[in-house]
Structure 1
Amino acid sequence: MRAAHAGDLQPLYEMAKLTGGGFTNLPADRTSLTDKLERSDAALSRDDNMITDDLFVLVLENAETGEVRGTCQLFSQVGQKWPFYSYRIGTLTQHSQELKRTFRADMLTLSTDLEGASEVGGLFLHPGERAGGLGLLIARSRYLFIREHRARFGDRILAELRGVIDEAGGSPFWDGLAGRFFGMNFQDADGFNAIHGNQFIADLMPKHPIYTAMLPESARAVIGIPHPSGRAAMRMLENEHFKFDSYIDIFDGGPTMTAETDKVRSIMEARTAPIVAIAKIGGDGAKSLVSTGRLGDFVAAYAQIENRVDGVAIDPQGAALLDVKIGDTITHVSRW
């Protein structure tokens, strides 16, 4: 894993065409991807501790071939350029004394509660590379990046999971709710949002709560449900101490997972130490995720690590991947 640069535009575009829709952070649009890379470059060029509206793009590179085969993104603080909307699931309880009955109604309320949080997203691994723990490498490298640049990120972090998309590329949730107000199908709205942002939601979406009982069953059935391809991602987030806290995406109804940044498992369990030896690691060594470097020099890879009294030993292959030597400092966390 390394920081992206302008030369990664073409492989990012090729991967974006494989996402299948509902993947707002990786649109199959060259102009939007160029803007993302330029924005990331600006964020990587600013070496201070101010938290602002930064975007960082990382890519997975095959060290042997130089091919880019995966990517992810980090947003330092959402809701700064335009509001960050979610639906919050709530319940309204009412009691009738005459009927001696209590009625509970689930409701969706348009919310900007998550503004100011950081976000991890845009994770995509090329279909030809889905083996060997590379998805975990992409996902967990984001948390080591955050740990290395902690002052640039908020105290709360979120991850939006893609919701259920049907075989035709449509969204039952969008069709049952927002589509009725916008006169746009899901593909058009999703594409517009990916390129232009979601301010049009503020302009057109009704502000009053929506009773879920008034939605068609097809829409109710997918509220808070991830796309089948996102179930593994949801489990990874849960392993990192994220949880589903009643917030869903306004477009496809997918779950928004949240966590306290300092309690994310990879951030909390990671350790920083100097390299005191580069040597073949025996049976006591741990297969770890290891990172080094700041900002544009950030890299992460799997390596064998062994704790020593005054630092750590790293295997030669891992040291070569990370381009580190004795005396350099690395951050490592066990693979699990």
Structure 2
Amino acid sequence: MSFRIRAARADDLQHLYEMAKLTGGGFTNLPPDRDALRVKLARSEEAFSRTTQGVEDDLFVLVLENIRTGEVRGTCQIFTQVGQRWPFYSYRIGTLTKHSEELGRTFRAELLNLTNDLEGCSEVGGLFLHPNERAGGLGLLLARSRYLFIRAHRARFAERVLAELRGIIDEGGGSPFWDGVAGRFFGMSFQEADQFNAIHGNQFIADLMPKHPVYIAMLPDTARQVIGLPHPSGRAAMRMLEREGFQYEKYVDIFDGGPTMIAPTDRVRTIESAADAEFTRRGEGGEDMLIATGQLKNFRAAYGKVTRNDDGGISLDAAGAESLGVTVGDTLSYVAR
């Protein structure tokens, strides 16, 4: 397979911009705005250049590259610690129970509580695969490469990692959840608020959002029915996250009501199951594996066929070795595909 994951560069801007225009809205981490994307790439370059250890406010942007053509056909992002530049807001679904002796009845109401509970977590997000490449396991390559990157730089990531899934967006690009909740207080459409957030951050949420709990029963049916549901295009991503050990713990996005998935970093399946070995020779055949090598801006990941050798090293097929650009003696991380 002629694809690999690598660190994003400044000259990837046009490719990212063209992909951002295909997202259809509600994709905060990949806005169709050149200046915002340029800032992301500059911030990512700074993160890749920092060699000191410890959890800071870093953003790493990775891209999926066709090594035959040089085209970028997908992207993903990793945030080392959310909630540092500006607060990280979520709605947490809670329950309020009240009992009436006179009526002999107990009432339970579900509430949306505005919270910063998830501040300090790492985040995987910004995953987008070009529509023409949605076959051959490339989406899985993009998603799981993030976990191998975290594993390779574990000291720079938090104890928990989250993933926000895009919520339900209607045919007109609007959000039923936004219209039923926050939109009533902001005087702007979902698309306007989403674009503003992508470019300027969400401090305006802190300034304008009511701090009191919102009773879900008082919301319109259109808003209630989409709380915690992923966009249809994100259902496969939700299943992938669940297979990695992420769980939905009743936190939802404040803009579109999409679910937030959470996992202990060291219990993410790819991180927990991966192993390291020295690349000792090229071979033929072997087990299908996801393989990564290199540190920071030299990080690469790709699919390949691995054979475990008696000397403790591994053999890698020619196509995998070419995709990764590795030579004998390099250390590889690998995990079952």
TM-score (norm 2): 0.98
Partner in structure 2 of residue 17 of structure 1? 21
Shift of 1:184: 0.6
Alpha-carbon distance between aligned partners in 2 of 1:243 and 1:308, rounded to the nearest angstrom: 37
Report SS of the residue matched to 2:212: coil
Cα contact 1:278–1:325 (8 A) shared by 2 = no
* 1:1-336 superposed matches below 5 A: 1-281=5-285, 285-309=286-310, 310-335=312-337
Alpha-carbon distance between aligned partners in 2 of 1:199 and 1:167, rounded to the nearest angstrom: 28
Cα contact 1:292–1:331 (8 A) shared by 2 = yes
Alpha-carbon distance between aligned partners in 2 of 1:216 and 1:256, rounded to the nearest angstrom: 22
Shift of 1:308: 1.6
Alpha-carbon distance between aligned partners in 2 of 1:216 and 1:321, rounded to the nearest angstrom: 51
Shift of 1:154: 0.2
The letter of the residue matching 1:324 is V
Alpha-carbon distance between aligned partners in 2 of 1:76 and 1:271, rounded to the nearest angstrom: 22
Alpha-carbon distance between aligned partners in 1 of 2:140 and 2:8, rounded to the nearest angstrom: 18
Task: Give the percent of matched residue pairs that are identical in Structure 1 and Structure 2.
Answer: 68
Shift of 1:276: 1.7
| Residues 166-223 of structure 1: per-residue CA shift (max 9 Å, x gap) | 0000000000010000011101000000000000000000001000001000000000
Shift of 1:286: 1.1
Alpha-carbon distance between aligned partners in 1 of 2:272 and 2:224, rounded to the nearest angstrom: 37
Query: Please, which runs of 5 or more residues in structure 1 have no aligned partner?
Result: none
Alpha-carbon distance between aligned partners in 2 of 1:316 and 1:186, rounded to the nearest angstrom: 49
Alpha-carbon distance between aligned partners in 2 of 1:115 and 1:157, rounded to the nearest angstrom: 11
Alpha-carbon distance between aligned partners in 2 of 1:323 and 1:255, rounded to the nearest angstrom: 38
TM-score (norm 1): 0.98
Alpha-carbon distance between aligned partners in 1 of 2:308 and 2:252, rounded to the nearest angstrom: 42
Shift of 1:279: 1.1
Cα contact 1:172–1:222 (8 A) shared by 2 = yes
Shift of 1:277: 1.8
Alpha-carbon distance between aligned partners in 2 of 1:301 and 1:270, rounded to the nearest angstrom: 14
| Residues 66-117 of structure 1: per-residue CA shift (max 9 Å, x gap) | 1000000000000000000000000001111111100000000000000000
Cα contact 1:288–1:302 (8 A) shared by 2 = yes
Query: Please, which runs of 5 or more residues in structure 2 have no aligned partner?
Result: none
Report SS of the residue matched to 1:202: helix
The letter of the residue matching 2:296 is L
The letter of the residue matching 2:309 is R
Cα contact 2:28–2:195 (8 A) shared by 1 = yes
CA RMSD of aligned residues (A): 0.5
Alpha-carbon distance between aligned partners in 2 of 1:174 and 1:315, rounded to the nearest angstrom: 50
Alpha-carbon distance between aligned partners in 2 of 1:4 and 1:56, rounded to the nearest angstrom: 8
Cα contact 2:283–2:307 (8 A) shared by 1 = no
Cα contact 2:246–2:268 (8 A) shared by 1 = yes
Alpha-carbon distance between aligned partners in 2 of 1:119 and 1:317, rounded to the nearest angstrom: 31
Which consecutive segments of 4 or more residues in structure 1 shift more than 3 A?
none
Shift of 1:325: 1.6
Shift of 1:275: 1.0
